[in-house]
């Protein structure tokens, strides 16, 4: 892999890119054939973790469904496959002769240090029998065959190393296992932890698919108040402290779902101090945290104002990693966090490959379910990611790519903020510059609307939403992100994204938004901004 070259990136006393190669050499070659079980411990810096405390056990919180999951009896037979000279007429795996794909290639851009992406491309090739030929650790024959619920060891090792490099979880028995995406991981976590009639906790505005996943399982979402630094520890503590089972019709919740970085829909990011505060409340009430982090690597350069010069990119991998807000996982001394990582925002949503990091107890429950449902992610996707992340880029190249993405999102964020400064009536619309993610959360002062007191907030929101569409621009209604059924919002928000449209269209869209809001609020061009 391309990381064996010397590098200036060193964090003392924890995993660094140069030491990965050493560790790998020490643990011997990775021989992972068809449906090989992965030994995650062997992928970690074992001696470095021994001083850490073990994770708390969660058996008392697990559902009957997850506790009843046993290993497969057929897998009992797999241990005999090691027998020298054994002929297996056992496992029902189709011969790879009948897989019609002989070779697969991907064309990807070259990346250079500190985030510079080239117009030149490389072609990555995976052959059918590269493993047997000694050309690669992974190939079409192995990836296209049945696999394990945890995914292929070859790619899982990369994920474990990346996780240790970025988060270095502070307890001993952390582990990783692949997902078919965080939407599925959340669905599976709900079945592991929640029962019909139960409640979970989340930010007061949150990713609506989460609420929609929980609801059919009979699980309701209690909204925790937030500010521009995310969920409020005091509000979380108070909500739990004053929880009334009779009024709520369900026991005090112990699952908190949070998107700490570039939250959807608000775009807000919890600073370290806020995360420490929430974690302390989680310890006090013995909560389990589901940390959903699709936007973690969409953390941007600081916003310095509309006319300010661009902030230069990080000059080293070390500087880049240090610039990132520490994750809950990195603060998790107790093993009370399941972190969900995703490639959707930084490689491709269509890969349907992600991973969770949690204590081995939780990962084991997850794997056992995956073995009997998703069977792990697509081998085609896994082979593509392995060839790209392990063999082509390595950890260094991936960080370079992430720095590139960071700078691109910084530009996009600056474009939308500059357009907002220029086109939106600031006496009616206000916002906080996002530090991460894809979203700008616009607060609309509905009390200045001519229909205020005559119309409900809901009707005003609907009127403004449709007015914006009249001006041929689409934003999302804030109320769509309210997770708590029946809890009426007392504010009017709109969500805009700067991830998708071209820069010109972002500017034009915000201009139209400004015109629509002025029209709706009866603001003429003259009085714009003068209030």
CB of 201 to its own copies, least distance (A): 19
Angle at the Cα of 325 from the Cα atoms of 208 and 312, rounded to 5 degrees: 110
CB of 306 to its own copies, least distance (A): 19
CB of 517 to its own copies, least distance (A): 13
Name the token pair of 204.
């007061």
The answer to whether 155 touches 390, Cβ cutoff 8 Å, is: yes
The answer to whether 463 touches 520, Cβ cutoff 8 Å, is: yes
45/151 with CB nearer its own copies? 151
First to last CA, the chain: 60
Q: What is the largest CA-CA distance in the chain?
A: 88
- What's 217's DSSP letter? G
CB of 484 to its own copies, least distance (A): 14
Distance CA 101, CA 89 (A): 25
349/522 with CB nearer its own copies? 349
CB of 401 to its own copies, least distance (A): 7
Distance CA 404, CA 298 (A): 10
The answer to whether 385 touches 397, Cβ cutoff 8 Å, is: no
CB of 391 to its own copies, least distance (A): 14
DSSP β-ladder status, 255-258 and 220-224: unpaired
Distance CA 447, CA 461 (A): 12
121/456 with CB nearer its own copies? 121
258/368 with CB nearer its own copies? 368
CB of 222 to its own copies, least distance (A): 18
Token pair 């992406």 is found at 117
Name the token pair of 311.
């902030």
17/442 with CB nearer its own copies? 442
DSSP β-ladder status, 199-203 and 220-224: parallel
101/280 with CB nearer its own copies? 101
45/354 with CB nearer its own copies? 354
């Amino acid at each position: 892999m391309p990381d064996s070259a010397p590098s200036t990136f060193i964090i003392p006393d924890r995993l660094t890119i140069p030491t990965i190669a050493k560790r790998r050499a020490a643990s011997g070659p990775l021989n992972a054939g068809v449906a090989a079980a992965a030994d995650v411990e062997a992928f970690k810096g074992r001696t470095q973790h021994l001083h850490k405390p073990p994770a708390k056990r969660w058996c008392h919180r697990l559902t009957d469904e997850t506790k009843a999951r046993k290993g497969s009896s057929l897998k009992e037979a797999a241990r005999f496959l090691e027998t020298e000279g054994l002929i297996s007429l056992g496992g029902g795996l189709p011969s790879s002769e009948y897989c019609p794909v002989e070779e697969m290639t991907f064309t990807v851009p070259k990346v250079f240090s500190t985030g510079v992406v080239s117009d030149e491309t490389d072609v990555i090739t995976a052959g059918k029998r590269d493993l047997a030929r000694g050309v690669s650790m992974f190939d079409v024959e192995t990836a296209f065959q049945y696999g394990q619920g945890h995914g292929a060891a070859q790619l899982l090792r990369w994920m474990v190393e990346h996780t240790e490099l970025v988060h270095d979880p502070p307890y001993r028995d952390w582990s990783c296992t692949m997902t078919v995406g965080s939407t599925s991981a959340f669905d599976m976590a709900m079945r592991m932890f929640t029962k019909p009639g139960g409640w979970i906790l989340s930010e007061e505005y949150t990713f609506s698919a989460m609420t929609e996943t929980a609801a059919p399982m009979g699980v309701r979402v209690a909204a925790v108040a937030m500010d521009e630094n995310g969920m409020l520890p005091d509000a979380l503590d108070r909500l739990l402290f004053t929880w009334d089972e009779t009024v709520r019709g369900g026991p005090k919740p112990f699952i908190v779902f949070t998107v700490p970085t570039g939250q959807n829909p608000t775009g807000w990011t919890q600073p370290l101090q806020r995360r420490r505060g929430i974690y302390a409340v989680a310890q006090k009430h013995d909560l389990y945290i589901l940390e959903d982090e699709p936007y973690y690597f969409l953390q941007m350069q600081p916003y310095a104002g509309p006319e300010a010069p661009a902030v230069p990119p990080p000059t080293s991998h070390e500087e880049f990693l240090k610039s990132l807000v520490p994750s809950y996982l990195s603060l998790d001394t107790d093993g009370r966090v399941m972190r969900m990582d995703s490639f959707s925002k930084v490689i491709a949503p269509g890969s349907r490959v992600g991973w969770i990091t949690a204590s081995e107890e939780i990962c084991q429950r997850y794997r056992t379910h995956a073995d009997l449902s998703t069977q792990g992610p697509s081998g085609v996707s896994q082979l593509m990611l392995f060839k790209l992340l392990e063999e082509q880029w390595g950890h260094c190249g991936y960080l370079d790519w992430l720095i590139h993405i960071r700078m691109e999102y910084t530009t996009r964020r600056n474009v939308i903020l500059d357009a907002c400064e220029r086109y939106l009536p600031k006496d009616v619309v206000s916002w906080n510059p996002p530090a991460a993610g894809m979203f700008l959360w616009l607060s609309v002062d509905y009390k200045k609307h001519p229909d205020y007191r005559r119309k409900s907030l809901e009707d005003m929101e609907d009127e403004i939403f449709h007015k914006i569409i009249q001006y041929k621009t689409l934003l999302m209604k804030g109320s769509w992100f309210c997770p708590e059924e029946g809890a009426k919002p007392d504010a009017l928000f709109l969500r805009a994204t700067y991830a998708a449209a071209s820069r010109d269209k972002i500017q034009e869209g915000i201009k139209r938004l400004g015109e629509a809001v002025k029209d709706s609020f009866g603001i003429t061009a003259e009085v714009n901004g003068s209030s």
